[in-house]
Each structure stands twice: as C-alpha cells, then as structure tokens.
Structure 1
Amino acid sequence: MPSTFFGLNIVRTGMSTYNVWLNTTAHNISNVKTVGYTRQTVNQAAGKPISFGTRYGMVGSGTEAISIDSERDVYYDAKYRLSNTDYGKYETFAYYMDSIEKSLYVKDSETGGLTNALDNFFQSIKDLTTGASDTTKRTKTIGDADMLTHYVKQAANDLQTMQKDVNDQIAKTVDRINSYGQEIASLTKQINTLEIYGTKANDLRDQRAKLLDELSELVDVQVMEKVPAGGEGLTQYIVSIGGAKLVDTNDHYTISYEVNGVKHSQNDIDKLYDLRWSNGQDFDVHGEGLGGKLQALFQLRDGNNGEVFSGKATAAAGDDKIVITDVNDMGKSIMKLDLPATDGVIAVGTARYQYKSFDVSVDANGNYTYTFNLKDGVKVGTAAAGQDARVGEEVDYRGIPYYMSQLNEFIRTFSYQFNEVQCGGYDLNGDKGKQMFVGKDGVLNADMNFDKIPVNAEGKPVGFTFSSVIDPSTVSDGKVTTSYYCLTALNSTIDADILKDGKLLALSDQPKNPDGTAEVENSENLKKMSALENDKTMFRQGQPGSFLKVLTATVGVDSQKVITASKNAENIKNSVDNRRLSKAGVDEDEEAQNLIMCQNLLNYQYKVLSVMNEVLDKLINGTAV
C-alpha cells in the first residue's frame, strides 16, 4: 500500500516539471531577438512506476523533466554555412570586380578614359592633315598622346593599389579566422566541462554555432562531432578549413601570413602574403575547397586566367641557372610576356627555385631559350632534362594580374606599332623620327628607348633577345636602350624631347632637301599614323579601339556575373536561414501560448495539492487516525 502522503509527492513532481517548462519558456521569450539563439524545449516523461504488491498493480509516481533540448537542426546548419560560404566568396568578388570595372571602364565623356583618350589622339592626328606644319596642332597631338599614357598609368596604378588592398584584406581575414578558431576551442572546452556527465550546455552550443556561421562567410567550414559511447565523457569536436584542422576539441591551430618575397606576375606589388599553418604545414591558398571570402581574395590578387609561362627545363645538379626551351605562346610573345623581372619562382617538377633575373635569346629557326639566373645561394637540387617547368601558379580566374597584363599588352603593342611608323618618317626639321612612346625606369631614373625587333613578311615581330634586368652601366645621359618587355602600363610615357617640341613629330616621309630645308607640308607618314586606328591586324581582337572595347566588355561581363551570383547566393542563404528559423527560431505567439499553458498546468497542480490537503486534513484531524 502506498504512503498516505504519496499523492503529495506526485504533485511535487508536476509542479517541479512545469516550473521548468515555465522558466524555459521565459528564457525563450527573453531571447527572441538574440542572434544565433535556438529555441529550447523541455523533454518530459512519466515518473518510474512503483509496485506496492497490490491487486491493482503498479502506481504512477508523477512526471519529470528529462532534459532541456535545443531545437537546432544540424542539416540546416550545414546548408546555411555552405550557402554563406558562397555568399562570402561572390560578395567579395562583386565588390572588387566593380572597382576593377570602374578603373578600366573606358567610355566616360566627362572624366575621360582609355577609349576617349585613344579617340582624341587619333582625331588630333586627323586634324594634322589640314596643317602638318602647324606647331599648335602638333603640340595638341602630342598632348593627347601623353593623356593616353596618363590614363593607362592611372588604370594600372588603380589595379596595383587594389592588389595591395586585397593583400591587406587577406591578412585581416586570416586574423579573424584565427580569432574564431580560438573562441570555438575555448567554448568547446567549456561545453565539454559541463556536458561530461550527459547534460546539454545549450546556450554555449548556440554561441559556438553562431561563431561557425560567421566563420563560414570567410572560408568553407567542415564540422565533425564525435559523441562518446554511452553519452558521457568528452565529445570530440573538429572544425576543418582548407582540408586541415582549425580546431580539434580544446586545441586550435593558427594560420600565419608571411611575406614570401616573390612575385607571380611582372607588375605584382612587393610583399605579397603567403599562408602557413602554425605546425609548419603549407596552406593551399589556391585550393578549390577553400571557399568563402579568403578564396575570392586570393583569386582576385593572383588570378591570371590560367595563363602562365611554361616550357621544358634543362639543368645539372648544383647549377645556378636553369635553361628553358620549347616555351609556350606567352614565351614567344614579347607583347604578352608577363614574367616577373626579378624575385620570381620557377617550378621544375616538384622543386621550386627563386630567380633574380632571366635572359632571352632566339636562334635562326625562331626557337626561344630562356636562361633563369637563380638567386644568390640557390642551387639546382636535382638534375633536370626536359622536365616540365613553369613560372607562377595557374589561377583560373580573371583577377588583377590578368587585367594588368592586358594593359601591358595594349601599351606595348600600340607603342611598338606607332614607334615603327614614327621612326620611319621625318620631323619638321627634316631629321629622322625618334621613338615617341617610351618608358621611364624609376629605379635608374632613366628614359627607356627600345631595341629594334625583327619582323616577318607581314611586319609582325618574330624574335627578341634581352635581359630582364637593365644593366646600370648602359645608362647614358639619363637614357637607356632596352626591350619592349620593360615597357609596362605603370611606366609608359612620352619622350621628353618630343613632349617639349612638337616639331619632332615625324609626319613626313622625306628627309631634308640638299639645301637643308624640309618639306614641312609633307604628310605622307602622317597617313600611316592615321591608318593605325583601323589596323585590324594589330591585335588578336582587331584594331586598337576594339582591343579596349573587348577589355571593357570582358570586365563588364565578369562583374555582372559575380554580382548576379552574389544576389543568388544571398537569396539562397536567406531562404535556408528562414527554413532553419522556422524550426529553431523563437516565435513570440507560440511562446505566449506556451506561457498560458504552463500557467494552466501549474494551476492544476495547485488545485490537486489543495484537494489532497483537504483530504489529508480530514483524514488526520477529522478521523483521529
């Protein structure tokens, strides 16, 4: 037979359980606006029945709260983080591609631009047809040429400034990743301390999940939780990024960013960062699985559309030089060549060697030989005979290096073609024309003129020989003769003498007369200059204006593509988050109903308690039991 007061204990269990319900509901309501909070519910079960050896069998002992559970759904968590990773990547792409587009957008009637400057230059040339000896018109033409180089340099400087900003953002992003890793490991330690005996630290788990949500925007996150057998003991919690562990339960690993001292492309900035794990393991910065903002930053900083210099290497062990033959198309075109002049890295098989300069030669059959002079103290480790070699990483994205190389190709090709015409004519004094589009070496403070390039029957350059580093001893009177390779979008300019004296523009095709006079109104060479505007063989894309239009169209398409992808990723992310919140989020109306329900259930318990109290009072005090 059960105790006389057994019923009071049943009421106590009900009051205790529904008080837990009430407190949990209050906790939910208090966190309606808390970002990352997950609705909590009470898992309730009937108390263990008790046998008193009576005919009617076992007697129920009330109820109990088994646990307070979080309504988090790991499936939707994983889906959300995946979509957030895509959003972080494309949002970063969209921001910087918009900046690249603004730097290269070439048709702005108010502020000018590359295409406007090119159009104005050719219009000035056309205007000279009605006054070849007019020094005012000549000066304007040279001024428009100078403006063209100005806009090329401005675009290139904008791109280089952007590359520096992206490089800085890589460091800041890595700092944030390290901070997230430390916080996640700290929370995991606290969670394990509280959950070692089987309870759930729901609020701490919410905080950890929120950190993972934020981390997923920066990099693709893989989470694995191993619950101990029996539900008690330490839970192993592993967070991986880029194929390696960032967090392993209570331990976290950091990523360091280091200035690698190398360049991947000719116009790369100094002090590019490379990443390495704290345990010395390499961090694959161009891995497809990296994802998020960090992947976008590296692709923007290093993206070359997969176009790198390559060939076959020959070297003996211990050599301080590596010879490359059988080069690809980039190595055969001085206009497209994008090798770093110094501080580049040549990869031969699995070995990597940093070089300080390179030399190029070509034989009578048009076969190019590149000799890379390795950095002081660097020697070839393993002999190479016809092994595949390359300089730079194939980053299959049109990032800053790609668009910088396009500007280099434009200014080199256009300068070469115009200089050939200019040097083939005669100026207003009857003297042979000199190169007008030149470069400025900032280190040597020297004006660069360029070597004559052999051409084929079609007038196309077919061979070149040069060294990537200018010998200071060759500088004379502030001038040096070098290769068109040394001309870039960053250093292009107009010859200082021509800039000062419009008479030096070579518009005539006739030298001085025997009496020393010049045919000042002769404009036959001017016609050749004007014809360059419509020369469809100058570029693969056609005439000079077409090259710039294709460049603009390409960056416009790239920009619009990532903007659309960013919006789609944001919509998917929000859609997944809404589904996640529909289950895990706190609904004010639902919690208000739960509040009333808890109140009613507790009132019922109080009513039962009151009835039992009356019964016991009558039993004890009224019957003298």
Structure 2
Amino acid sequence: MASTFFGLTIAYSGLQAANTSLTITGHNVSNINTKGYTKQQAGTQAADALRTHTTYGAIGSGVVVTEISQIRDSYYDVKYRNNMANYGQYSVKESYMGQIEDYLDEFTLNGYSQEYKNFFSAVNQLTITPGDTSAKNQLINNAKSLADYFNTLTTNLRNVQADANNEIKDAVQQINSYAKNIAALNRQINQIEANYGNANDLRDKRNAMIDELSEIVNLETSEEDMGNNVSNFSVRINGQTLVSSYSYNTLETVARTDKKNYSDAEGLYDVQWNSGQKFDMYSTSLSGHLKGLIDIRDGNNGEHENIETDDDGNNVTDSDGNLVLTTAPAADKTVSYKGVPYYQAQLNEFAKIFSDAVNKIMKSGYTSDGSSKGISLFVTQPNTTVMSAGNITVNPELLKNADLLAIKKEQNDGESDAKIMEELNKLQSEKIFAGGTGSYFLESIVSDMSIDSQKAVNLYKNYTDLKTSIHNQRLSIMGVDTDEEAMDMIKYQQAYNLNSKMMSVMNQIYDKLINQTGI
C-alpha cells in the first residue's frame, strides 16, 4: 500500500521533470545561433506503478525523465553531406576556371588572337615594301610580342597549377586534423555515455566536423552499438577508412620525381596513405574540394603530353633539332577533365605547328640582298630544347640584324621580290591546325574554356541552391525555433507551477492530518 505521504513524492517528481525540461529549453534558446547545434528535448514516461492491494490494484508513482535526446534525422545528414561534396568540388572549379578564363579572355583583352593578327599584318606590309628595314623590324617585333604572350600565358597557367597543388596539400592536412579530432571525440563521447547518459553537445561538435569534412572529400559514416552504451563510430572517405572508433589513418603528400605532363609545374604532389595503402586520386567516385583541385591541377582530358619518340624509342626532333611534344592517351588512370595541363597542351600544339610552318618557309628563302640563306624566325629560349608555348622566342640573330630576315624565294630575284612573305601570308588561311586555320584553333581554345567555365559556374550555383534548400530542411527538424521554444517555456512553466501547487496542497493536508487532527 502506498504511503500516506506518497502524493508529495509524486508532485516532487513532476516538479523535477518540469524543471529539467525548462533547463533544456533554456539550453536550446541560448544556442539558437550556434552553428551545428541540435535541438534537445527531455524524454519522460510514467514511473512504475505501485501495487496497493486494494480493489483498484495499483497507483501511479509520478514521472521520470528517461533521457535527454537530440531531434535529428540522419536522412538529411546524409543528403546534406553528399551535396556538400559536390558543392566543394564545383566551388573550387568555379574559382579556378574563372582565373583561367581571365587569362584566356579574348573578348576583352588584346590576347593571342590579336597578337596573331598583328603578326600577319606585318607580313602583309612586307609584301608591299619588302626592302624596308623598318617593316622587317616590325615583323620581328610582332613575332617577339606573340612569343612573349604565349610565354606569359604559360607562366600564368603554371601559377594556377602551383596554387591548386598547394591547396591540395592544405586539404590533406585538414583531413588529417579532422580525423584526429573526430577520433578524440569518439573516446570522449563513449566515456560519458557509458556512465552518464547522452553526450549531446559533443555529438553536435562531431557532426559539425563531419559536415565540414564532407566539403573537402566525400564520406560515409556508420555507428555500431558495442553494448553498455558504447559505440564504434567510423568515417570512410572515398570508400577507405579514415576513422574507426579511437584510431585514425592519415594521408600524406609526396612530391613527384617525374612529371605526368611535360609542362607541369615542378614538385606536384601525389596523395597517399601514411600506412602505404594506395589512395586513388583519380577515382571517378572521388568528390569534394580535393577532387576539384585535382581536376584543375591534373586535368588533361585523358591524354599525357610528353616528348615524342619513334618506333625505336628515340626522341623525335624538328628541322631545327628541337624536341617535339605530342599527346597520347594515358596508360594509367588520369583525369578526363580539361584543367591546366589540357589548355597548356593546346597552346604548346599551336606554338609547335606555327613555329615549324613559319621556320620552314623562312629557311627556304633568302635575304633581300641575296647575301645569305634565310634562318628560323622562331627558336627555343636559351638552355631549352623543346619547342613549346613556354619556350618559344624570336631568333636573337634577327633581333640584332633585321636584314637577316628571309624575304625572297630565289637568290637572284630582285630586292622587290617578296615571295617568301607571300607564302608566309598564306599560312593565315591554311588549315594546318587540326584541320583548321590558326585563328580557328585559337578561337576553339577560348570556346572550350568558355564552355567549361560556364558549366562550373552553373553547377556551383545549382549545388549552392541545393545546399540552402537541404540546410533549411535539416534545420526544420534539428534547428531551434523561437516560437516552439516560447510555447515549451510556457508549457513547462505551467507544469512546474501546477506541481508546486500540488506540493502546497499536500502540505496543507499533512498539516491538517498531523497538527490539527484530534484537537
């Protein structure tokens, strides 16, 4: 049978439950602007009833607070993190492709297309005044300007590649830092939950870290119950284990000893696990910030650019003895994206074809006075042996003496003859660049760049909009709402007041029973 004073115990349990709920409401309100915070609520249930050995059998014993839980839906967590991986990838591409587009912007800059036109304008002038030394100087200077512009483009693209490479190293360090911190949080959470209940605030901190990590690299999480309120929480990135309970793996960056593409910047990093296990940088399933950086830095459209060799394995050279670059489908895993290596290879191809065609014509002719054979207009820079956009320059002999420029076809032709210049002028309309003219080839580079850049912008915008939408959906469940908290505050305040009133009533009853009965 229940004690005479049992009603006081029941009221006290209600008072405690209301007080706990009010405390949790205050905690929610104080964290209303805290990033990553998850709304909490008290779980309550009726306390076990007591047998009274009377006709009604049992009587309620009040309320107990069973747990303090988080209001969170794992479905939206997965949805949010998957989108963040895509958002991170295209935020990088939108930024870097914008830089490359600025360098190749032929619509607002007097870029290589204009330099190409200026070159042929000077050629055309020499067909009119072939003996004019100033006109020869103009052609040589325009050729130098064209070469310098391609040199500058190569430098700019290489700087973009180096920046992306440095960011890859930073991304790897961030991944390692998150791995270490998540493993430490796993230990703290298990220590608390094994003894004292749910470690909700620590779980919020861990979830916030995972949200941030998901922008760097695509991930999956799992939590396995090990019993005694202890769990094994693990994180996998691109299908490989990063964190498993209290242990974690780390990545490292290793500078390449050999370039994948001839024009790559020096010291580009490969990413691998410290344990020696392979990390597939070029996996089609990889996404996130790291994927975007790798695509920009290594994107060669599936083809490596290297020195061309013949069937016997000997290096191929052009008519001036320079090594020749060529592109070929990559034998190993590579990046199909059009990043820095792709656009650099396109510029190199133009420089190689154009210089070879011009030099062939120039060397077939003679100077205006017929005193010497023509020499190459374009050569490689000192201490270089490969004709490329980064190495091309004008023959220093011509810079010293413009009259060494070949003008006429035959040695005995008069000084007014300009057949070499006429042949050179025809190059402007000849389809020697992958089936198109030089202007068309240059314009196609700009077209590819514009399409790729716009695609990156559009996808970045799409994933940004999705990020906002999914974030709002997630907040509708886990976020703290001012109206809801205000209603809960009033509800728990009333419950607290009513239980206080019940205790007051019971106190009056006990006073009557103890102090006034029998008087």
**TM-score (normalizing by structure 2):** 0.94
Task: Give the match for residue 442 of structure 1.
Answer: 383
Q: 2:212 aligns with which of 197, 214, 219?
A: 214
Task: Give the match for residue 420 of structure 1.
Answer: 360
Q: Which runs of 4+ in 1 moved over 4 A?
A: 389-392
1:448-490 Cα offsets, whole Å, 9 max, x none, are: 6xxxxxxxxxxxxxxxxxxxxxxxxxxxxxxxxxxxxx21111
Of stretches 563-572 and 434-443 in structure 1, the one that deviates more from structure 2 is 434-443
Task: Give the match for residue 452 of structure 1.
Answer: none
The alignment partner of 1:370 has SS state of: coil
Task: Give the match for residue 294 of structure 1.
Answer: 290
Matched, 1:523 2:418: yes
1:268-318 Cα offsets, whole Å, 9 max, x none, are: 12212112212111111111222101111112111110124xxxxxxxxxx
The alignment partner of 2:381 has SS state of: strand
Instruction: Give the superposition deviation at 1:615.
Output: 1.2
Q: What letter corresponds to residue 61 of structure 1 in structure 2?
A: S
The alignment partner of 2:462 has SS state of: helix
The alignment partner of 2:313 has SS state of: strand
Instruction: Give the superposition deviation at 1:522.
Output: 0.8
Task: Give the match for residue 347 of structure 1.
Answer: none
Matched, 1:71 2:11: no
2: CA distance, partners of 1:40 / 1:160: 51
Higher helix share: 2
Q: 1:245 aligns with which of 241, 251, 270?
A: 241
Instruction: Give the superposition deviation at 1:562.
Output: 0.9
Contact 2:219 2:235 in 1 (8 A): yes
1: CA distance, partners of 2:156 / 2:302: 22
Instruction: Give the superposition deviation at 1:197.
Output: 4.4
1:585-614 Cα offsets, whole Å, 9 max, x none, are: 001121111111111111111111111111
Task: Give the match for residue 491 of structure 1.
Answer: 391
2: CA distance, partners of 1:624 / 1:534: 124
Task: Give the match for residue 576 of structure 1.
Answer: 470
Of stretches 566-575 and 299-308 in structure 1, the one that deviates more from structure 2 is 299-308
2: CA distance, partners of 1:542 / 1:160: 27
Higher strand share: 1
Instruction: Give the superposition deviation at 1:243.
Output: 2.0
Contact 2:242 2:250 in 1 (8 A): yes
Gaps of 5+ in 1: 309-337, 342-358, 362-367, 373-388, 449-485
Task: Give the match for residue 411 of structure 1.
Answer: 351
Q: What letter corresponds to residue 118 of structure 1 in structure 2?
A: Y
Task: Give the match for residue 463 of structure 1.
Answer: none
The alignment partner of 1:534 has SS state of: coil
2: CA distance, partners of 1:306 / 1:98: 22
Matched, 1:258 2:158: no
Structure-to-structure mapping, 1:150-549, within 5 angstroms: 150-197=148-195, 199-229=197-227, 232-308=228-304, 338-339=305-306, 360-361=309-310, 368-370=311-313, 393-430=333-370, 431-442=372-383, 486-511=386-411, 513=412, 519-536=414-431, 538-549=432-443
Contact 2:90 2:460 in 1 (8 A): yes
1:124-149 Cα offsets, whole Å, 9 max, x none, are: 11122321111111111111111101
Q: 2:494 aligns with which of 600, 604, 610?
A: 600
Q: What letter corresponds to residue 220 of structure 1 in structure 2?
A: N
2: CA distance, partners of 1:57 / 1:533: 105
2: CA distance, partners of 1:393 / 1:522: 55
Matched, 1:96 2:96: yes
Task: Give the match for residue 60 of structure 1.
Answer: 60
2: CA distance, partners of 1:169 / 1:441: 32
Compared CA separation, residues 68 and 565, structure 1 to 2 (3 A): same
The alignment partner of 1:287 has SS state of: coil
Compared CA separation, residues 534 and 408, structure 1 to 2 (3 A): same
Task: Give the match for residue 326 of structure 2.
Answer: none
RMSD value, Cα:
1.7
Higher RCO (CA-CA < 8 Å; seq separation 6+) = 2
Matched, 1:139 2:79: no
2: CA distance, partners of 1:53 / 1:198: 36
Compared CA separation, residues 390 and 399, structure 1 to 2 (3 A): closer
Aligned length: 505
1: CA distance, partners of 2:274 / 2:129: 70
Instruction: Give the superposition deviation at 1:624.
Output: 3.9
Task: Give the match for residue 319 of structure 2.
Answer: none
